[in-house]
Amino acid sequence: MDIPDRLAPVLQRIAATSPDLGDDPALAASLVENVTSMLADAHRHYADGHDASITSDQLLADEHLATGALHAERMQHPAGAMLAAEVLFDEYLPVFVDEVGAETPAELLRASRALHSGIWRRFPAGAIAYTEALRQRVTTANLDSRAHIARDLHDRVAHGILAGLQRIDLALLTDPPAPERTAQLEAAAAQLRRALGDVQNLAVALHARVGDDLLDAALARHTADLFPETDHVSIVSHGTPVQIVNWRAEESLTILLEALTNWWKHARDAAVRVDFTWADNSITVVVQDEGPGFDQDALAPGRLGQSTMRERAALIGATLDVVSAPGTGTTVTLVVPTGAL
């Protein structure tokens, strides 16, 4: 897209002030398109003789909602767009005044209002679209979580209870000799205890809380509650741990507990190691097990809860990567930003 010479320095300053806008090709192209459109609107506003800069009547203009959705898709917070708008107004006002030939105080005031109107009318719609996109992600993640819990209740808990009851029924119906009856009842009791353990694990996972702990300490605490009878889990930290905002820490803990629950389901006899690497602006957590692994190309729908994990990661601006192959174990890597936004 051709950029007018007068606009190029402004776009360069916006890109320098908000690197995410300049570094992402899609956001950069959207920036140029929107700025060009804003200025065209400002010129029309001025030419039509409008004196007001109020834009609230166009908060939900359809043509502006796409920008907010694009920013939400790339986890670009609306504050970045607001800063870009301030830079554009500050830098381009003298240029705009010159372009429209404003000279008198009334004309200068009308030019300022016209530019404000052309710029500002985009951002409420964009912020609303951003919020709506995040709300949809939360809804999707919650629905996926509910479906995942329903599968666990059906496939693990209900199946375990049914198997235990069948063993009891068998002992009651056949009335075998005492030693055999005892063995059957003990097997039934063991089956029901496993089902109880699955229920307790689900309850712990549902009530994941970081509290005042650091993320690695919270994970260690919940791991001890979830898997008290195994010594196959090791948690190691590298660097200087830092506190992250609670909403981001809670989602991170939920994702990591899901990764460990998957290990327990599919590879509990193998060792699993969790490595926290604390950097200035992010935390990288790698959950690596030595289990049988799986074929990612033949991944069954819903296996590993990956869709829910990815949705939760996207909600907090984190990235999630899962790598596995038959015979090589599974590695889950979560990278979480430590900033407030």
Predicted confidence (pLDDT) per residue in 13-31, tens digit: 777 776 666 566 766 676 7
If pLDDT is split at 50, 70 and 90, which confidence band does 44 have?
A: confident
Task: Kindly state the DSSP code that residue 76 receives in the 8-state scheme.
Answer: -
Question: Do the Cβ atoms of 312 and 251 come closer than 8 Å?
Answer: yes
Residue 82 has pLDDT above 70, yes or no: yes
Phi first, then psi, for residue 335 (nearest 5°) are -115, 115
DSSP 272: E
Mean pLDDT in residue range 288-298: 85
Quote the tokens at residue 115. 């530019």
Measured between alpha carbons, how far is 207 from 243 in angstroms, rounded to an integer? 20
Residue 330: band (very low, low, confident or very high) from pLDDT cuts 50, 70, 90 = very high
The reported pLDDT for the residue numbered 302 is 45
**Residue 334, token pair as written in the block:** 């979560």
Sheet holding 272-278, edge to edge: 233-238, 272-278, 282-289, 330-337, 319-324
**Secondary structure class of 300 (helix, strand, coil):** coil
- Tokens found for residue 194: 């496993």
Mean pLDDT of the chain: 79
Please tell me which residue, 5 or 88, carries the higher pLDDT value.
88
| Mean predicted confidence (pLDDT) in 138-165 | 72
Residues 182-209 have a mean pLDDT of: 74
Question: Rounded CA gap, 228 and 209, in Å?
Answer: 18
Say what the pTM is.
0.53
Pairing state of beta strands 233-238 and 272-278?
parallel
Share of the chain above pLDDT 70, in %: 74
- Burial degree of 14 (CB within 10 A; 0-12, 13-18, 19+): buried
Nearest 10 degrees: Cα torsion 227, 233, 239, 241: 0
Element (H, E) at 286: strand 282-289
CATH 3.30.565.10 occupies which residues in the chain?
210-341
**CATH code 3.30.565.10 for 210-341:** yes
Tell me the two tokens of residue 33. Answer: 């398109």
Q: Of 88, 79, 101, 91, which Cα lies nearest the Cα of 34? A: 88
Say what the pLDDT of residue 53 is: 59
1 has pLDDT over 70: no
